[in-house]
């Protein structure tokens, strides 16, 4: 056939597809209509059927019989689970504005560039064979069309690239991919045009394949019965009706499983089934429409394969091209051309694949890397759209050329199906992280990273390297004898696992390693906060989004008015923030200074105000930082990357702010801990006060009841008991007074009456007031005072209280009979009062606790002297209020205790008139 | 020695005085201890039938004394009544968990204390 004719028809067909895409884009805004319907959705999922299906299945069936089937059984089985799995992925992706599978996995694990980058890199390497497959199919079939009946087998990869059809096919398809997929930049929106074009090509490839099958079955032969009868008579074909060795079952199962996963994890399938989904309900329709499609397109695979073997076996035609060669062999050029267009349609799946891949590479690999290169100053550019588009276009071209390079490298060593399976195995590495991510909250980022990296490494070693080795790029001994002759490391029989097909072998090992690493590392590592939030957002997506489908903000959080105000103040300034809050309060009739919890509306107000200065996405992120437990996902960060112009300009600012916020959070946490400790101390205080109150009350009640019940008690005992009641009542009164004093001192409600006094007078009064105590115990009190008066302005009663307290403590601890207490006053730079006893002294370990509530040194002694445990606390409060300091001089044990307090002279207005040291 | 003996353990002299009076009046043999150590010492010398045991004691507190007594199977017949000025439920539960038989909160009714002690005395051996 004429080269120009075939080329022209192909180009016209591709232009027609482009026109459909263009039309689809124009109509994308409208609701309803065929483009938004379930049939287009199901047909677009049929992008799964590529040249592999169109040509490769026939080739495989001709050589191995029904072994082409698992690749369609897997997706059919998976379609039954779509309502559970795919619908969940769709819901998650809508709420989180997911743009690709890399984005999906990265977002689930806390949105770190590393993970997304790994997924993108795996997809790139893994899908190169797949792209190569399509290019190879296009160029081979083109050659068949042009050169038939010359065998087309060995045409690819020979001669210079500029005389190679595959090279031009690559360039043309790259151009179309660029036209289709990168007309505008917003990856989060739907590419309705592309979807429409895919649905169209799916229809074309189905119809043409069925047409070819029907013609071959009913015109070349007289119906399927005739065809199968003749095949059964054919020696080699007859064997294909058997399943083969038991090892084949393992292969069969492995292929079914890998294709079950591929239908979800192939980037193009993720693109059409998840990203491009317009309505969740379509998943339900696709779950039966898509298997039906698979059934239909496979209907004539065996008949065509048998017909090809029966009629063309010895003609040197490659079995992959039977569907084309059969019409050509009868000179049915029109049919052949139609079939060729069907095959071309199937190959355009590659366009979707490269677009999805390029989006992923751009968003998850190239942009994050470029943003890190400060010298590019990307963060100072205001509009990055052109750059993003250029990156995507370059990526598309690069990916397709890589595919071409792969064909050149591997030559003709692999059939179409073989190349496709290499890619399937690669994308299967996403499955644990993808499926685990939506059903298992415990999966961690490190687990996903470890699983995918390990699985991918095994894939590369057991499957990808050997394909290069076949082509001679790596020494063949590497595959046959293992690296360095180590038989255990042979890529196709790792650790002695022999007897499996290479794909099954690679799948078993890579999935074992992948799942093992994923689960183990996940169990051993911890999620950070963002990851935990994302995990529950993904796993519980239905619960969380019930009733508010499509809205990504659920303010269940606990933002406080104060936090919000603080945040706002930092960005728009104190005055503006204050004004905004005041106005809000006026409008809603609330006093914000008395409200703690911010309501949703206030949160929105803050978001709006912030958005004015930092952009909507950053505003959401900032506010969500403040609103603890808020379920704003990091899709906001995603938005930021998309609205690159805004965020990049503010990203550094944002970083600084988040550091500030972190610091503020730390401070708050510390303050909170302190408050909790204070609260505990208050509880303890109340419990102790209660205890101290109950003790005297017990004695009072007991003796009162005894007196009441025993009216005939002898008078002496009566008297003694009444004495106890009186003294315990006094103790109770004292305690209550002290508690009240302390409360007043601590709250600042104590009234002070400073007057000018002679300090020596106050000290003498105090010693007289405690005289009875000393006398009772036989303790001597010595006063060492300056000769003259020491004028000083102070509150006499409070100062007396301090001195009396210290004196009664001293007498309590002084030994009976031989006790001696000294009260000393010196008035130099400061006024200094000392109270010294010759008791047992105070253990050094106790000194720091002395001035705390209810601390009694006596606690550690056998005999606890009666006291409230509040005296010294009150002393300290009073002295501190008077501007002085109180402490205990550390002394060796047994030398008694010395309490000292000082008061500043300057504090006293009367200080100037003070008589110089009296000596 | 009368078999109906009570050991009063408290560090508040006046409370000890009142309990001593009440127990003697009820006809029991009374001994007194001012801290945990001497309480245990008194039990070791001659285990009483009933112990009135304060919780807040110097040297070893009431819980510890209670636990020590319960750890010795020879003293399993000794009835322990805890006395405490701390009225929180947690203290009560802790006391019972430590092996106390009963729990009385201060300030107590004198009649009730006497009745409780009498109820815990082994019957019929007066």
Q: Say yes or no to pLDDT of A536 above 60.
A: yes
Q: Is A701 on the interface with B (CB under 8 A)?
A: yes
Best of B85, B94, B112, B113 to substitute, by most chain A Cβ atoms within 10 angstroms, is B85
Q: In chain B, which residues have their Cβ closer than 8 Å to the Cβ of A725?
A: none
pLDDT tens readout for residues A884-906: 889 888 887 778 888 999 988 76
Mean pLDDT within B14-34: 92
Residue A476 has pLDDT above 90, yes or no: no
- Specify the DSSP element, H or E, that contains B54: strand B50-54
Residue with tokens 């009368």: B2
**pLDDT cut 90: percent of chain B above it:** 37
- Judged by average pLDDT, the poorest of A573-582, A681-690, A864-873 is A864-873
**A589, A853, A877, A911 from A741: Cα distances, Å:** 42, 13, 10, 28
Rounded to 5 degrees, what are φ and ψ at A885? -140, 145
How far is CA A914 from each of CA A662, A715, A787, A800, A882, rounded to the nearest angstrom? 56, 57, 13, 20, 18
What's the structural domain count of chain A? 4
Closest C-alpha to A698, from B50, B71, B16, B21: B16
Contacts of B76 (CB under 8 A, 6+ apart): B70
Q: Assess if residue A192 is contained within a domain.
A: yes
Query: Considering A674, A691, A717, which residue would you say is the last residue of a domain?
Result: A674
Give the span between the Cα atoms of A811 and A836, in whole angstroms: 10
CA separation for the pair A51, A142 (Å, rounded): 13
Report percent pLDDT > 90 for chain A.
Answer: 7
CATH number of the domain encompassing residue A305? 1.20.1730
For strands A820-827 and A885-889, give the pairing: unpaired
Is A421 among the domain residues? Answer: no
Is A731 in the B-facing interface, judged by CB distances under 8 Å? no
Final residue of a structural domain among A746, A781, A797: A746
Probe site for chain A from B14, B15, B54 (most A CB atoms < 10 A): B14
Closest CA relative to residue A96, chosen from A733, A446, A530: A530
B17 touches chain A (CB under 8 A): yes
Instruction: Please tell me the distance from the alpha carbon of residue A233 to that of residue A466, in angstroms, as a whole number.
Output: 38
Interface membership of B12 toward A (CB under 8 Å)? yes
User: Which residue among B14, B22, B58 places its CB closest to the CB of A699?
Assistant: B14
Average pLDDT over residues A645-664: 69
Cis peptide before A149 (omega within 30 of 0): yes
Which is nearest to A57 in space by CA: A44, A46, A68, A42? A68
Segment among A242-251, A289-298, A562-571, A693-702 with least mean pLDDT = A242-251
Per the structure, the count of domains in chain B is 1
Tell whether A191 and A157 lie within a shared domain.
Answer: yes
Q: Which residues of A touch B111 (CB under 8 A)?
A: 705, 709
Domain shared by A618 and A717, yes or no: no
**What is the β-pairing status of strands A820-827 and A780-784?**
parallel
Q: Is the peptide bond between B26 and the residue preceding it cis, with omega within 30 degrees of 0?
A: no
Cβ contacts of A728 on chain B, cutoff 8 Å? 14
The end-to-end CA distance of chain B, in Å, is: 11
B16: confidence class by pLDDT, cuts 50, 70, 90: very high
Q: Do A807 and A682 share a domain, yes or no?
A: no
Q: Residue A349 phi/psi, 5° resolution?
A: -55, -30
Residue B60 lies in a domain: yes
The candidate with the shortest Cα–Cα distance to B7, out of B59, B38, B25, is B38
Separation in Å, CA B14 to CA A698, A716, A812, B63: 9, 16, 18, 22
| Top-confidence residue, A682 or B84 | B84
Over residues A775-792, the pLDDT tens digits come to 888 888 888 888 888 888
In tens, the pLDDT along A803-859 reads 998 898 888 888 888 888 999 998 888 889 999 888 888 877 777 777 776 554 444
pLDDT score, position A623: 67
Pairing of strands B29-33, B5-9: parallel
ipTM score assigned to the predicted complex: 0.91
Taking CB atoms and an 8 Å limit, are B58 and A728 in contact across chains?
A: no
Residue B125 lies in a domain: no
pLDDT digits (tens, 9 = 90+) for A558-609: 567 777 787 777 666 777 788 888 888 887 777 777 777 777 677 777 777 7
Q: Does A336 lie in the same domain as A242?
A: yes
A182 and A102 belong to one structural domain = yes
Q: Best mutation site among A692, A699, A727 for testing chain B: the one with the most B CBs within 10 Å?
A: A699
3-state secondary structure of A836: strand
Check CB contact of B20 with chain A, cutoff 8 Å.
no
| CB–CB contact A687 B86 (8 Å) | yes
Pairwise CA distance, residues A438 & A541, whole Å: 9
Q: Are residues A233 and A340 in the same domain?
A: yes
CATH of the domain at B51: 3.40.50.2300
Facing residue for B15 by CB, picked from A702, A861, A863:
A702
Pairing label, strands A830-837, A885-889: unpaired
Report the pLDDT value the prediction gives residue A625, as an integer from 0 to 100.
63
Stronger pLDDT, A416 or A657, i.e. the higher one: A657
Enumerate the residues of chain A whose CB falls inside 8 A of the CB of residue B54: none
Does one domain contain both A742 and A833?
no
Chain A residues touching residue B109 (CB < 8 angstroms): 701, 705
Best CA proximity match to B66, nearest among B87, B42, B96: B96
pLDDT of A553 above 50: no
Segments in chain B forming alpha helices (H):
13-25, 36-45, 62-71, 89-97, 110-120
Asked whether residue A661 falls in the same domain as residue A701, the answer is no
- Taking the C-alpha atoms of residue A900 and residue A918, their distance in angstroms, rounded to an integer, is 20
Query: CB distance from B25 to chain A under 8 Å?
Result: yes
Note whether A864 contacts B: Cβ–Cβ < 8 A. yes
Q: What is the CA radius of gyration of chain A?
A: 45
Q: Residue B85 and residue A863: Cβ atoms within 8 Å?
A: no
> What one-character DSSP code corresponds to residue A902?
E
Looking at the fold, whether A667 and A773 belong to one and the same domain comes out as no
Query: A351 lies in a domain?
Result: yes
How many A-B residue pairs are in contact by the CB < 8 A criterion?
A: 68
A93 has a pLDDT exceeding 90: no
- What was the pLDDT predicted at A546? 58
Considering the domain architecture, whether residues A242 and A143 belong to the same structural domain is answered as yes
Three-state SS at A114: helix
- Domain holding A89, by residue range, is 3-413
Q: Could you report the per-residue pLDDT of A183-196, keeping only the tens digit for each?
A: 655 544 567 788 88
B111 touches chain A (CB under 8 A): yes
| Domain edge (last residue) among A381, A413, A445 | A413
Distance CA A2, CA A675 (A): 89
- Asked whether the beta carbons of A785 and A825 are under 8 A apart, the reply is yes
> Nearest CA to CA, how far is B85 from chain A (Å)?
5
Q: Please indicate if any CB of chain A lies within 8 Å of the CB of B2.
A: no
Which helix (H) or strand (E) segment holds residue A236: the answer is helix A235-240
- What pLDDT is stored for residue A888 in this prediction? 87
Does A256 have pLDDT greater than 50? yes
Q: Tokens 């899709």 belong to which residue?
A: A635
Mean pLDDT of chain A: 78
As beta bridge partners, residue B51 has: B7, B80
Interchain proximity A690–B109, CB inside 8 Å: no
Indicate yes or no: CB of A724 within 8 angstroms of CB of B109: no
- Range with the lowest mean pLDDT among A469-483, A524-538, A728-742? A469-483
Q: What is the pTM of this model?
A: 0.55
> Strand A830-837 vs strand A791-794: parallel, antiparallel, or unpaired?
unpaired
pLDDT value at residue A907: 52
Provide the pLDDT confidence category of residue A276 given band limits of 50, 70 and 90.
Answer: confident
Residue A612 pLDDT grade (very low, low, confident, very high; cuts 50, 70, 90): low
CB pair distance less than 8 Å for A861 and B58 = yes
A257 with A336, same domain: the answer is yes
Q: Give the model's pLDDT for residue A722.
A: 92
Of A695, A710, A859, which is closest to B12 when you measure between CB atoms? A695
CB atoms B108 and A728 under 8 Å? no
Q: What is the pLDDT of residues A624-643, one digit of tens each?
A: 666 654 444 445 544 544 45
Q: Which of B107, B109, B110, B111 to mutate to test the interface with A (most CBs of A within 10 A)?
A: B107
Query: What is the CATH classification number for the domain harbouring A699?
Result: 1.10.287.130
What average pLDDT does the structure give for chain B?
86
pLDDT in tens, A423-466: 888 889 999 998 988 888 888 888 999 999 999 999 888 888 87
SS3 of residue A654 by DSSP: helix
How confident is the model at residue A71, as a pLDDT?
A: 85
Domain of residue B21 covers: 5-120
Cα distance from A705 to chain B (closest Cα, Å)?
7
Which chain B positions have a beta carbon within 8 Å of A702's beta carbon? 15, 18-19, 22, 107-108, 110
Cβ-contact A119, A364 below 8 angstroms: yes
pLDDT band at B31 (very low <50, low <70, confident <90, very high): very high
What pLDDT, on the 0 to 100 scale, is given for residue B17?
Answer: 92
- pLDDT tens-digit map of A144-200: 887 766 654 444 444 555 567 778 878 888 888 887 777 655 544 567 788 888 899
Q: Which of residues 38-67 of B touch A (CB under 8 A)?
A: 56, 58-59
* Same structural domain, A798 and A880: yes
CB contact under 8 A, A863 and B34: yes
B110 in a domain, yes or no? yes
A783 in contact with B, Cβ within 8 Å: no
Q: Is residue B72 part of a domain?
A: yes
Separation between Cα atoms, residue B8 and residue B48, nearest integer Å: 10
């Amino acid at each position: 056939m004429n080269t120009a004719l075939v080329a022209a028809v192909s180009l016209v067909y591709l232009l027609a597809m482009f026109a459909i895409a263009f039309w689809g884009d124009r109509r994308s805004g409208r609701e309803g209509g065929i483009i938004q319907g379930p049939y287009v959705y199901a047909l677009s999922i049929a992008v799964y059927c590529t040249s592999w299906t169109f040509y490769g299945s026939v080739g495989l069936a001709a050589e191995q019989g029904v072994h082409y089937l698992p690749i369609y059984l897997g997706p059919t089985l998976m379609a039954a689970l779509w309502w559970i799995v795919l619908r969940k992925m769709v819901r998650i992706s809508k709420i989180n504005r997911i743009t690709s599978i890399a984005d999906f996995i990265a977002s689930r694990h806390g949105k770190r560039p590393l993970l997304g980058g790994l997924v993108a890199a795996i997809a790139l390497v893994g899908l190169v064979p797949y792209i190569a497959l399509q290019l190879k199919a296009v160029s081979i079939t083109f050659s068949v069309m042009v050169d038939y009946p010359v065998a087309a087998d060995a045409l690819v990869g020979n001669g210079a690239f500029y005389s190679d059809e595959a090279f031009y096919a690559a360039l043309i398809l790259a151009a179309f991919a660029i036209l289709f997929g990168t007309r505008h930049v917003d990856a989060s929106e739907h590419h309705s045009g592309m979807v429409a074009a895919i649905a169209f090509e799916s229809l074309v490839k189905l119809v043409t394949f069925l047409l070819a099958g029907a013609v071959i079955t009913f015109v070349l032969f007289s119906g399927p019965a005739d065809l199968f009868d003749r095949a059964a008579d054919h020696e080699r074909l007859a064997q294909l009706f058997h399943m083969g060795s038991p090892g084949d079952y393992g292969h069969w199962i492995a292929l079914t499983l890998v294709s079950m996963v591929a239908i979800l994890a192939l980037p193009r399938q993720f693109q059409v089934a998840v990203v491009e989904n317009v309505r969740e309900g379509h998943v339900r329709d696709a779950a039966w429409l898509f298997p039906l499609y698979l059934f239909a397109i496979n209907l004539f695979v065996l008949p065509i394969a048998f017909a090809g073997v029966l009629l063309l076996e010895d003609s040197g035609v490659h079995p992959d091209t039977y569907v084309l060669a059969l019409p050509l062999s009868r000179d049915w050029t029109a049919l052949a051309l139609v079939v060729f267009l069907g095959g071309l349609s199937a190959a355009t799946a590659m366009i979707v694949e490269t677009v999805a891949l390029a989006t992923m590479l751009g968003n998850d690999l190239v942009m994050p890397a470029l943003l890190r290169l400060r010298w590019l100053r990307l963060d100072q550019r205001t509009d990055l759209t052109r750059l993003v588009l250029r990156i995507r276009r370059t990526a598309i071209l690069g990916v397709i050329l890589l595919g071409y390079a792969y064909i050149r490298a591997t030559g003709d060593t692999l059939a179409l199906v073989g190349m496709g399976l290499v890619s399937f195995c690669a994308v299967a590495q996403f499955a644990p992280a993808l499926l685990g991510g939506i059903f298992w909250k415990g999966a961690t980022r490190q687990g996903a990273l470890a699983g995918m990296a390990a699985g991918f490494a095994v894939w590369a070693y057991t499957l990808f390297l050997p394909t290069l080795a076949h082509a001679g790029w790596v020494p063949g001994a590497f595959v046959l004898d293992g690296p360095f002759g180590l038989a255990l490391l042979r890529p196709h029989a790792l650790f002695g696992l022999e007897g499996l097909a290479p794909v099954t072998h690679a799948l078993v090992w890579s999935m074992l390693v992948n799942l093992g690493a994923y689960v183990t590392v996940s169990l051993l590592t911890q999620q950070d906060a963002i990851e935990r939030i994302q995990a529950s957002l993904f796993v519980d997506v239905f619960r969380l989004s019930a009733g508010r489908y499509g809205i990504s903000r659920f303010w269940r959080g606990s933002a406080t008015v104060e936090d919000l105000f603080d945040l706002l103040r930092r960005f728009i300034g104190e005055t503006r923030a204050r004004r905004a809050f005041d106005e809000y309060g006026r409008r809603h009739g609330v006093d914000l200074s008395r409200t703690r919890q911010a309501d949703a509306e206030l949160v929105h107000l803050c978001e709006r105000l912030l958005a004015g200065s930092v952009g909507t996405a950053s505003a959401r992120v900032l506010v969500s930082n403040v609103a603890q437990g808020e379920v704003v996902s990091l899709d906001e960060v995603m938005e930021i990357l998309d609205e690159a112009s805004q965020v990049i300009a503010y990203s550094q600012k944002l970083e600084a702010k988040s550091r500030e916020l972190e610091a503020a959070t730390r401070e708050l946490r510390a303050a909170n801990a302190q408050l909790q400790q204070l609260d505990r101390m208050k509880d303890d205080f109340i419990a102790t006060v209660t205890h101290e109150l109950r003790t005297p009350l017990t004695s009072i009640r007991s003796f009162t009841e005894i007196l009441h019940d025993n009216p005939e008690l002898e008078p002496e005992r009566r008297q003694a008991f009444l004495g106890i009641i009186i003294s315990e009542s006094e103790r109770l009164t004292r305690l209550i007074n002290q508690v009240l004093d302390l409360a007043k001192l601590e709250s600042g409600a104590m009234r002070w009456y400073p007057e000018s006094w002679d300090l020596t007078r106050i000290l003498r009064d105090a010693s007289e007031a405690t005289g009875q105590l000393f006398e009772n115990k036989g303790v001597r009190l010595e006063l060492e005072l300056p000769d003259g008066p020491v004028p000083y302005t102070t509150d006499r009663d409070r100062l007396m209280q301090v001195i009396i307290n210290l004196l009664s403590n001293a007498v309590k601890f002084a030994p009976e009979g031989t006790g001696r207490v000294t009260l000393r006053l010196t008035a130099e730079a400061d006024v200094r009062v000392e109270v010294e006893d010759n008791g047992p002294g105070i253990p050094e370990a106790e000194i720091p606790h002395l001035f705390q509530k209810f601390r009694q040194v006596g606690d550690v002694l056998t005999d606890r002297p009666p006291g409230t445990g509040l005296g010294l606390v009150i002393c300290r409060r009073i002295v501190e209020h008077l501007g002085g300091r109180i402490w205990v001089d550390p002394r060796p044990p047994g030398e008694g205790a010395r309490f000292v307090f000082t008061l500043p002279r300057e504090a006293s207005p009367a200080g100037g008139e003070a008589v110089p040291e009296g000596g | 020695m009368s078999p109906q003996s009570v050991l009063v353990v408290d560090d508040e002299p006046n409370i000890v005085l009142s309990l001593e009076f009440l127990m003697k009046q009820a006809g029991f043999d009374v001994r007194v201890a001012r801290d945990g150590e001497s309480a245990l010492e008194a039990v070791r010398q001659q285990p009483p039938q009933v112990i009135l045991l304060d919780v807040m004691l110097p040297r070893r507190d009431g819980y510890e004394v209670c636990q020590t007594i319960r750890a010795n199977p020879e003293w399993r017949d000794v009835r322990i009544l805890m006395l405490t000025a701390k009225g929180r439920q947690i203290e009560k539960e802790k006391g019972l968990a430590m092996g106390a038989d009963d729990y009385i909160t201060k300030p107590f009714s004198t009649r009730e204390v006497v009745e409780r002690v009498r109820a815990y005395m082994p019957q019929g051996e007066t």
